[in-house]
Structure 1
Amino acid sequence: MATSTTNLVHGGFFSRFFRGIADGFEQHARIMSRRGLIDELHAKSDAELAEMGIKREDIVRHVFQDLFYS
């Protein structure tokens, strides 16, 4: 019985630990995949951004709106 309890404790800790690391890598990959779009929008002129309905200071908000502003 002590063995099964120990395995549950260690399994739970290590599962959460490695899941946290994997989630961090996944989040980093999502952010980096949007970095190109941010750079592309920053390269546009203010007039081009205005045609798209985006203000320069709102570019990051626009790119990540589905994650934070939904």
Structure 2
Amino acid sequence: MASTISFDKPRTSFLGMLAAPFAAIGKVLVAIAEASPKVRELERLNSLSDAELARRGLTRDGEIRRILGVAAAM
């Protein structure tokens, strides 16, 4: 009995190849943004429940304003 092995190359479209550099740039920009201290602080805030914030005498809205400063007003 004979068997054949087929190696299929992944087919990429022209538009896919054209979009690849932009997707890579987007991933880098997201990585830079996620490394921001403000983003890390917002992620920490997001992990707290409203009950935990209330026990500390804080509100989610107030903490967002504190973390983002002027940018929160926009």
Q: What is the TM-score with the length of structure 2 in the denominator?
A: 0.40
Determine which structure has the larger helix proportion and give its number.
1
Q: Look at both structures and tell me which one has the larger radius of gyration over its CA atoms.
A: 2
Q: What is the TM-score with the length of structure 1 in the denominator?
A: 0.42
Work out which structure has the larger RCO, using CA pairs closer than 8 Å and 6 or more positions apart in sequence: 1
